[in-house]
């Protein structure tokens, strides 16, 4: 096959090639145009689509508008008002900056841009792009201050691209998702989305935290607001705020995950890995967490010029960002305690009544538990029997009282039978009443009835104590009788050289033997029976991809979890009232006590209203 001579591509063909990356479907068009509207300072945006956006997309904003003399240039490739030098590119503060979206869209549709920069509607101008060379014609057109872009017959001149579009309903769903993501990032902007002349979403603007909560509830649902934890931390020039769903609110797919970096929606492997690691100990297998998180950092510390769609970013110091996100979310989830019920920071926009379908759920938690009162300051590494764990001092401290152990009375607010005594403070999980079928603890608290899986709860308590004991001591290493050689790929060797100092902290002693070979000389004692070669390769793979690895820590935790499982109370083991109350008190101060080591819930609350509904009381 002869390649022929090199020729300059005409403008339309060049733009259509660029459109292959930028304009994938109607939702891609909506995303690009919304970003332009927000960069123009719009506070009100309306989106009208017909037939899922294939037939028509019309977006109107009240931003600063485009000068009539700039309209032809606005439809040209690589023309933008947002950057002018390499310094601007290295610190992009706007959503758009590449200057190719409008030209790409115009090459695969019939595009018109109407805009006005003055308060006089008669000063408006409309620009249309036509012909093989995409010549722009400008004519007067009445329009208020702001801009309207209308796209008709998307992919009319590229039928092969049009064949890849899905049904009208599917394309509309993707457009809705783009609008929702954008609306979450900009609560101070009003959005109206209509389809085939019918208004689907009307999101009003707001400027307060109250308004942001209202928008999150409107987009993510009341159930997410009820079962989420507030995140708000600033450190090392990084700020992370938002909401993360409780592990019990996990999803079957990753359809409720919104992460924003400086107001930009991103899907980043560093962030995804950090979030997954934070949920590792508490999420049931195969489930996905839900979250709405906003990360703010200096624009110089993040590169957004990674991909034409601008979904991906590259952090200058990915390890610090990963560690910050992981530690913040891990701490927020670990600080959840049964005492943290009725979190008004989340619920001030939610009605008092709760639907019947949401019964038997753990509720959102938001109270601060003082550090140092978690019962782990003097951890035990024993995981052999219930009595040994229950001999640890009870962690529950009544208001104004001293810390009490079993000998000081575990249930000061209950009688010998477990009934609550009037006038005495009731702990969050209440007082035990019965042990049902040798498996479940039945307790009553001020909210109603609590059911606890005794084995799962004790398993978590023992596991957290084992982890605390390991954290408070260095990782013991075991020398190998014969050092184990491993031949590494170029990528793996590069990761080893860059992160060689980390291995000693993980209990691994690894030395370079040649340009492509390393020797494993020592491994952690707790992992003596594991395949050291596979572990090292997995760690190096993580380091090469995201600059961080928790493989060894995760494997150690798996072994500790097994020890905790075997050493916890078994089913049909009769528990006394005192033992059950001791377990409840320890749950109230133990990290992640809402889930067992496998991510399953350890307790559920059945409130007075739910109990009344079961028996049709009050109707």
Question: What is the reported pLDDT for 433?
Answer: 95
Lowest-confidence region among 280-289, 404-413, 473-482: 404-413
Question: What is the reported pLDDT for 237?
Answer: 94
Q: What is the pTM of this model?
A: 0.75
State yes or no: pLDDT of 604 exceeds 90: yes
Compute how many other C-beta atoms are within 10 angstroms of the C-beta atom of residue 216.
22
CA distance 149 to 191: 16
List domains and CATH numbers for the chain.
11-202 (3.30.565.10), 209-347 (3.30.230.10), 370-619 (3.30.1540.20)
Residue environment code for 281-304, b if the CB has 16+ CB neighbours within 10 A, otherwise e? bbbeeebbbbbbbbbebeeeebbb
State yes or no: pLDDT of 238 exceeds 90: yes
CA distance 570 to 371: 31
Compute how many other C-beta atoms are within 10 angstroms of the C-beta atom of residue 372.
8
State yes or no: pLDDT of 548 exceeds 80: no
> Span 301-324, mean pLDDT?
86
* CA distance to 88, 94, 588, per residue, from 454 (Å): 59, 53, 14
State yes or no: pLDDT of 34 exceeds 50: yes
CA distance 384 to 146: 71
Question: What is the reported pLDDT for 410?
Answer: 38
Question: What is the reported pLDDT for 114?
Answer: 96
Question: In 3D, which of 374, 351, 565 has the Cα closest to residue 457?
Answer: 565
Lowest-confidence region among 402-416, 465-479, 584-598: 402-416
What percent of the chain has a predicted confidence (pLDDT) above 70? 84
State yes or no: pLDDT of 424 exceeds 80: no
pLDDT digits (tens, 9 = 90+) for 324-358: 999 999 999 988 877 665 443 444 544 433 333 33
CA distance 356 to 375: 36
Lowest-confidence region among 12-26, 224-238, 466-480, 583-597: 12-26
Question: What is the reported pLDDT for 418?
Answer: 52
For residue 614, give the H/E element and its range: helix 608-614
> Where are the alpha helices (H) located in 335-411, listed in sequence order?
344-347, 386-390
State yes or no: pLDDT of 154 exceeds 70: yes
> Where are the alpha helices (H) located in 454-531, listed in sequence order?
454-471, 490-498, 500-505
CA distance 140 to 124: 6
Predicted confidence band of residue 131 (pLDDT cuts 50, 70, 90): low
Residue pair 221/354 in contact (Cβ under 8 Å)? The answer is no
The overall average pLDDT reported for the chain is 82
CA distance 376 to 392: 10
Predicted confidence band of residue 388 (pLDDT cuts 50, 70, 90): very low
DSSP letters, 530-587, are S-HHHHHHHHHHHHHHHS---HHHHHHHHHHHHHHHHTSPPTT----HHHHHHHHHHH
Question: What is the reported pLDDT for 321?
Answer: 94
Burial of 15 (0-12, 13-18, 19+ CB in 10 A): buried
State yes or no: pLDDT of 485 exceeds 50: yes
pLDDT: which is higher, 444 or 472: 444
Token representation of residue 191 = 């959005």
């Amino acid at each position: 096959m002869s390649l022929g001579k090199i020729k300059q591509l005409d403008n339309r063909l060049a733009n259509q090639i660029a459109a292959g990356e930028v304009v994938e479907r109607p939702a891609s068009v909506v995303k690009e145009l919304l970003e332009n509207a927000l960069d123009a300072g719009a506070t009100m945006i309306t989106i009208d689509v017909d037939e899922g956006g294939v037939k028509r997309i019309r977006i109107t904003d009240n931003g600063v508008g485009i000068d009539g003399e700039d309209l032809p240039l606005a439809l040209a490739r690589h023309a933008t008002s947002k950057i002018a030098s390499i310094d601007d590119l290295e610190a992009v503060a706007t959503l758009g900056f590449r200057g190719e979206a409008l030209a790409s869209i115009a090459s695969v549709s019939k595009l018109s841009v109407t805009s006005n920069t003055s308060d006089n509607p008669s000063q408006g101008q409309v620009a249309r792009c036509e012909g093989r060379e995409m010549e722009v014609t400008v004519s007067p057109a009445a329009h208020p201050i702001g801009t309207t872009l209308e796209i008709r017959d998307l992919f009319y001149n590229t039928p092969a691209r049009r064949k890849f579009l899905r049904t009208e309903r599917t394309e509309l769903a993707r457009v809705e998702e783009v609008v929702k993501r954008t609306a979450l990032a900009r609560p101070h902007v009003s959005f109206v989305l209509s389809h085939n002349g019918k208004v689907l979403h009307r999101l009003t603007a707001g400027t307060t935290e109250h308004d942001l909560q209202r928008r999150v509830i409107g987009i993510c649902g009341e159930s997410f607001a009820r079962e989420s934890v507030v995140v708000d931390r600033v450190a090392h020039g990084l700020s992370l705020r938002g909401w993360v769903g409780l592990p019990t609110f996990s999803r079957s797919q990753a359809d409720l995950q919104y992460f924003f970096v400086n107001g930009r929606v991103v899907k980043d492997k560093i962030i995804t890995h950090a979030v997954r690691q934070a949920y590792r100990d508490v999420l049931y297998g195969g489930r996905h967490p839900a979250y709405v998180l906003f990360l703010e950092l200096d624009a110089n510390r993040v590169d957004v010029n990674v991909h034409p769609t601008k979904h991906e970013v590259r952090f200058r110091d990915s390890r610090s960002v990963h560690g910050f996100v992981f530690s913040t979310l891990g701490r927020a989830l670990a600080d959840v305690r049964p005492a943290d019920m009725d979190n008004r920071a989340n619920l001030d926009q939610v009605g008092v009544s709760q639907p019947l379908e949401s019964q038997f759920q753990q509720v959102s938690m938001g109270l601060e538990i003082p550090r140092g009162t978690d019962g782990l300051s003097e951890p035990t590494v024993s995981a052999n029997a219930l009595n040994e764990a229950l001999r640890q001092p009870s962690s529950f401290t009544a208001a104004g009282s001293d810390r009490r152990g079993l000998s000081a009375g575990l249930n000061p607010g209950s009688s010998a039978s477990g009934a609550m005594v009037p006038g005495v403070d009731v702990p969050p999980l209440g007082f035990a009443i019965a042990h049902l079928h040798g498996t479940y603890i039945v307790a009553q608290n001020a909210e109603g009835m609590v059911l606890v899986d005794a084995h799962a709860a004790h398993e978590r308590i023992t596991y957290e104590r084992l982890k605390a004991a390991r954290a408070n001591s260095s990782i013991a290493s075991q020398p190998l009788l014969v050092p184990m050689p491993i031949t590494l790929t170029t990528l793996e060797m590069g990761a080893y050289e860059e992160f060689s100092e980390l291995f000693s902290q993980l209990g691994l002693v690894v030395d370079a033997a040649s340009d492509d070979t390393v020797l494993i000389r020592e491994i952690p004692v707790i992992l003596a029976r594991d395949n050291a070669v596979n572990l090292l390769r997995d760690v190096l793979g993580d380091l090469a991809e995201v600059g961080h690895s928790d493989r060894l820590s995760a494997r150690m935790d798996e072994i500790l979890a097994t020890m905790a499982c075997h050493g916890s109370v078994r089913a049909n083991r009769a528990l006394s009232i005192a033992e059950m109350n001791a377990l409840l008190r320890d749950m109230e101060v133990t990290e992640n006590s809402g889930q067992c080591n496998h991510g399953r819930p350890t307790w559920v609350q059945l409130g007075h209203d739910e109990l009344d509904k079961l028996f049709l009381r009050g109707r």
